[in-house]
Amino acid sequence: MAMPKISATAVMIAVFAIAGAALIYALRPLPVQVDTAAIESGPLEVTVDDEGVTRIREVYLVSAPLAGKVLRSPREVGDDVVGGETVVAIIQPGDPSFLDVRTRREREAVVAASVAAVTLAEAEVRRSQSELEFAQAELRRAERLSDTETISERTYEKALLDMRTREATLASTEANLELKRRELESARAHLIGPESLGEFEGYAQACCVQVRAPASGRVLRILNESEQMVAAGAPLLEVGDPGDLEIVVELLSDDAVQVSEGATAHIENWGGTGALTAFVSSIEPAGFMKVSALGIEERRVNTILALHGEPASWAALGHDFRVYVRIVTWSENDVLRVPLSALFREGEDWAVFAVEDGAANLRVVSLGHRNSRHAEILSGLGAGDRVVLHPSDRIEDGTDVEERALQ
């Protein structure tokens, strides 16, 4: 039986049909490679995060009790001290100041006047002594005459009164002489300058004031280490107990109102292994203004944290160390959660792309609490659903997707 002949037109049509089908297949959109995550239940904590600084609860600032020359510090930073026993500073009297020409002349004149006053007082003493000797002789004669009743009783009493008056006058002039001598010493002392200190024996060993530690602990900082002149009340060093640490966090005021006393806190990035645990011991009732690094004025509130656990676990921390703090404001152990990287805005709502049968399905979701990694799902997704992470602008509702193979 003879085969039917195929026309050239039919062959051409078949070739063009196959080529068109191949072109359509080659130009079809390929599935978008995506990363996905499964919706699952787990613990969720909402925290307020900020940097904090460690501090010793009781830091004692040791200051100079009087003006003078503080000697080089006998202590080093980190030295252990015992309250009331360990000497932390030694203060000597300060050297006198230099005298200019006019001041020296004035004080030399005061010395000369004091010398003259002493000479005058000595003359007064000699006169008083002579008058007393005369009065004593008169009293002896009056006593003999009184015994023979040659003079009246009144004359005898008058002689006794004169003698006692002369004794008092002598005591007064001697006291005045002592006063003038002391004034002369004071005037001469005002002439002493630094150039003449070597004339005074024992000046270098003059009595010093020893300042002792106010409490037991360690030397945290030495403010005046070298020998120098200080005024009364000048700060010298700080002492505190490193085992009595707390953490201060300057929270924004709108974050601070979410924190309650007793709340748990996690201390991270403190330099040691693992995270430390603390709790909020107090929140200061007054805020303060602080300018951020960007020049923005912020209202801050000091929040105080007390460390939990054995002190050995955070013994490496010291005074004024930086730490990173996460204060828990809400927590739940079993919450349906979604990664934040899967969420995006759809109008006024939150949405995700759920993967169903190889295609991205747009779903609007309702969220509850959230932290920096996850958000609580109230509706729109169920456990086990897979969602696209970091959805790009290539993905729309119904777009074919393919999970990227793990490297």
The CA distances from residue 331 to 170, 249, 334, in Å, are 95, 21, 9
* Below-50 pLDDT ranges, the chain: 1, 202-203, 407
Nearest to 83 by CA among 188, 215, 197: 215
Look up residue 29 and give its DSSP letter. Answer: P
> Cα–Cα distance between 31 and 400 in angstroms, integer?
5
Answer for the pair 67, 260: CB distance below 8 angstroms, yes or no: no
Residues 6+ apart with CB under 8 A from 318: 54, 242
What is the reported pLDDT for 362? 92
What is the reported pLDDT for 251? 94
Answer for the pair 16, 383: CB distance below 8 angstroms, yes or no: no
In CATH, what number does 60-95+202-236 get? 2.40.50.100
- What residue ranges do the domains of the chain occupy? 45-54+243-403, 60-95+202-236, 101-192
The CA distances from residue 214 to 78, 88, 95, 233, in Å, are 16, 10, 28, 15
What is the reported pLDDT for 23? 60
Answer for the pair 342, 391: CB distance below 8 angstroms, yes or no: yes
Share of the chain above pLDDT 70, in %: 90
* Fold (topology level) of 101-192: Helix Hairpins (1.10.287)
The CA distances from residue 14 to 19, 24, 28, in Å, are 9, 15, 21
Instruction: Tell me the one-letter amino acid at 154.
Output: R
For the segment 197-256, what is each residue's pLDDT rounded down to a tens digit? Answer: 555 554 455 568 889 999 999 999 999 888 888 899 999 999 999 888 999 999 999 999
Token duo for residue 220: 């945290």
> Cα–Cα distance between 165 and 159 in angstroms, integer?
10
* Fold (topology level) of 45-54+243-403: Elongation Factor Tu (Ef-tu); domain 3 (2.40.30)
For the segment 97-125, what is each residue's pLDDT rounded down to a tens digit? Answer: 777 888 888 888 988 999 999 999 999 99
